[in-house]
Amino acid sequence: MNYHEKPLGKNVRFLLPSLKLMQPSRSGESIERRVHQFLVEHFGGYTATSASLFGFWRDEQGQQLYGEHREFVVALPDDRGLPELKEFLGGIVLLLDEQCLYVEVAGVASLLYGHPEEISV
């Protein structure tokens, strides 16, 4: 056999508003830098798409919205890191002043909302 594989686990894909990523976080560094540090420290790495990624959707009042995003993908070797990642992203939602984030875990899509009383990013 001329190859071998090492499974990396489930893919978690999430979208962050690209223009807001350069905003400073509470520590003064950019939100993009904070996301980078968290993903490398906790998951060993990630991939990000810097191409033009945009979407249209309707909010709860039926108003059509538009956004440009950067896509991040991280592999989870098991489900233990998933709650920690979601907790982190909940804080990022609030730092970005967004209602929610689009998150996909192994092909299952959801909207992730942050809780202001529990911000820890």
Beta bridge partners of 2: none
User: Across all residues in the chain, what is the average pLDDT?
Assistant: 89
The answer, yes or no, to whether residue 54 has pLDDT greater than 60, is: yes
- CA 104/CA 112 separation, integer angstroms: 10
| CATH number of the domain bearing residue 37 | 3.30.70.120
pTM for this predicted structure:
0.85
In a domain, 121, yes or no: no
In a domain, 30, yes or no: yes
The answer, yes or no, to whether residue 121 has pLDDT greater than 70, is: no
In a domain, 1, yes or no: no
- CA 58/CA 62 separation, integer angstroms: 5
Q: What is the pLDDT of residue 31?
A: 93
In a domain, 67, yes or no: yes
Structural domain span for residue 67: 10-115
Single-letter amino acid code for the residue at 60: E
Span 74-120, pLDDT tens digits: 999 877 899 999 999 999 999 999 989 999 999 999 999 988 765 55
If pLDDT is split at 50, 70 and 90, which confidence band does 25 have? confident
Q: How many domains does the chain divide into?
A: 1
Q: Which of 78, 115, 92 is nearest to 14 (CA)?
A: 92
In a domain, 82, yes or no: yes
In a domain, 29, yes or no: yes
Task: Write the DSSP string, 59-117.
Answer: -TTS-EEEEEEEEEEEEESSTTHHHHHHHHHHHHHHHTT-SEEEEEETTEEEEEE--GG
- Per-residue b/e over 66-102, b at no fewer than 16 CB within 10 Å? ebebbbbebbbeeeebbeebbebbbbbbbbbebeebb
